[in-house]
Amino acid sequence: MPHQLPQSVLFCCDHNAVRSPMAEGIMKKLYGPGVYVQSAGVHNDLEIDGFAIAVCKEIGVELERHRSRSFDEMQQLGDDLSSFDHIVALSPASQHRALELTRFFHLTVDYWPIMDPTGLGETRETKLNAYRQSRDQIVRHLTERWGPAPQG
């Protein structure tokens, strides 16, 4: 049975360039402005990935304007992790970092093992298919956790 939607969610992965921005954008599209959604990475050394932009555009999710940021940058900008109700880590490194940063807070940190599609596939189409698999894993986890998108 789906859980009640939280007021705020932070998705995190390694670089905030593929999985966590996709999760942020898809959650915003599915559940609307009633949930504050952000994403971050352990590092912010990469820009948003073009394949991630392309496969999200296929389902009506816009990522072109996403700006990658790290946990450290979030804290420097005053976005305190304790202000989030729920943190979803999409990679082992981000799960470790989220647990380390939240050990003094009473927060839920979930780990969703979403495949990292970077480096998979030889042709453009096989690369896109790998990214679609990751996107679809995210959609499946979201709807299993918080139910289908509200109608209306």
pLDDT of residue 152: 57
25-35 pLDDT, tens digit per residue, is 999 999 998 89
Predicted confidence (pLDDT) per residue in 80-126, tens digit: 778 888 999 999 999 998 888 888 777 889 999 999 999 898 999 99
List, in sequence order, every residue forming a beta bridge with 10; answer none if it has no partner.
Answer: 38, 87
**Segments forming the whole domain that contains residue 29:** 8-144
* Residue 32, domain CATH: 3.40.50.2300
Q: Edge-to-edge strand order for the sheet containing 36-41? A: 36-41, 8-13, 86-89, 108-111
Residue 104 counted as domain residue: yes
pLDDT computed for residue 11 by the predictor: 97
Question: What's the 3-state SS for the chain?
Answer: CCCCCCCEEEEEECCCCCHHHHHHHHHHHHHHHHCEEEEEECCCCCCCCHHHHHHHHCCCCCCCCCCCCEHHHHHHCCCCHHHCCEEEECCHHHHHHHHHHCCCCCCEEEECCCCCCCCCCCCHHHHHHHHHHHHHHHHHHHHHHHCCCCCC
Round to the nearest angstrom and report the end-to-end CA distance of the chain.
Answer: 21
What's the pLDDT at 139?
97
Beta-bridge mates of residue 86: 9, 108
Number of domains in the chain: 1
Task: Give a yes or no: residue 152 inside a domain.
Answer: no
| 33 vs 142 pLDDT, higher one | 142
pTM of the model: 0.94
Has residue 3 been placed in a domain? no
Mean per-residue pLDDT, 138-149:
94
pLDDT at site 149 = 82
Give domain status of residue 2, yes or no: no
Give the model confidence (pLDDT) of 58-81 as tens digits. Answer: 999 999 999 999 988 988 887 777
Is the torsion defined by CA of 86, 5, 62, 118 positive or negative?
positive
Does a structural domain hold residue 43? yes
